Chains A and B, each alone.
Chain A
Amino acid sequence: MWIEIVLFALLVITAVTIAGLNDLFAAAMLSGIFSLLCASLFTLMDAVDVAFTEAAVGAGISTVLMLGALSLTGNRENQQPLRLGPFVVVLLTGAVLIYGTLDMPAYGDPAAPIHQHVAPEYIAGATAEFGLPNIVTVVLGSYRGFDTLGETAVIFTAGVGVMALLLGRRKRRDGDEVETSGEGHGDAKS
């Protein structure tokens, strides 16, 4: 209980720091730390599979992607003050959501509706029907295999999209040879 509260506090501090930073390199690094803190929290919430996916994908691949993009776009952001309009919108959204949570079941309540639906069947069926120890793997691969198929389709589409965006760029650069943005602050106007 106390570990979770401390980790949640660290998480909020990290998030606030990320939101306020102008140095994007530091923000990318902090978002890696943010993911790692989340992974620890997921472990405490018994979601070990989510935890190591978050640690590998959130803290690893995302940070690498972010740093790659920063090397191409430059890592300074203009200074900007706190904006009142968005702040009010965010506060209103938060207030409505907090009001919504008042009807939610308490944290860790075993009688919550979410535990009464299909989850007991999945837990009972994992060994009886498939004989695998990891229930999450069973649900991912068997009970909800089509979800995973759809996920693969999404990732394939994203990969095609990234390739279409970045390969066209190289072709155009070969075409008119205007600039080489080696350090990421070359003037790339075309």
Chain B
Amino acid sequence: MEALGVWNYWVVVLLMMIGLYTVIARDHLVKKLIGLGVFQVSVIMFYVSMGKVTGGTAPIIPDEVPAEGILYSNPLPHVLMLTAIVVGVATLAVGLALVVRIREAYGTAEEDELQRMNGAQS
């Protein structure tokens, strides 16, 4: 019964597996980047779910009511994951720009066709 308490991590691992499979097994480069996004969200979910406290509330201190004794969820993972989301979209933009350039240079964005072309050239 003890192990059932960590079900959130199992869902995170499942999401990570789906993302990882999309990254390494699918051929289209944009699809790989979408898979990378799924992977990244799973890591973010992992951190945020670690910060959750049962019975806690969002880490915002109320103005009027006496603020003593309120249980807050851990704000530190939230901060780190805010940074991760924004950096993630920056890497996504660079990746998509690279895909656009590859498509213009080779006429395709499928990895297996790209590898075949490289094999034919050398």
A, B co-complexed: yes
Q: List 29 A-B contacts (CB under 8 A).
A: A8-B8, A15-B15, A15-B18, A18-B18, A18-B38, A38-B44, A42-B45, A46-B51, A46-B73, A47-B73, A47-B81, A54-B44, A73-B29, A73-B109, A87-B21, A87-B25, A101-B13, A102-B3, A107-B8, A107-B49, A133-B63, A140-B82, A147-B80, A151-B86, A155-B86, A159-B93, A161-B97, A162-B97, A189-B107
Indicate if the CB atoms of A69 and B85 lie closer than 8 Å: no
Shortest CB-to-CB span from B76 to chain A, Å, is 5
* Alpha-carbon separation in the docked complex, A32 to B22 (Å): 17
* Alpha-carbon separation in the docked complex, A174 to B48 (Å): 48
Indicate if the CB atoms of A31 and B34 lie closer than 8 Å: yes
B interface residues with partner A (beta carbon < 8 Å): 2-3, 5-11, 13-22, 24-31, 33-35, 37-38, 41, 44-45, 48-63, 67, 71-83, 85-87, 89-94, 96-101, 103-107, 109-110, 112
Contacts of A15 in B (CB 8 A): 15, 18-19, 38
Contacts of A112 in B (CB 8 A): 50
* Alpha-carbon separation in the docked complex, A101 to B45 (Å): 14
* Alpha-carbon separation in the docked complex, A190 to B107 (Å): 9
Number of contacting residues on A, CB 8 A?
94
Indicate if the CB atoms of B41 and A34 lie closer than 8 Å: yes
Closest to A24 in B: B30
Mask: chain A, 114-153; 1 = CB below 8 Å from B; 0 = not: 1100110011001100000111100110001001100100
Indicate if the CB atoms of B34 and A18 lie closer than 8 Å: yes
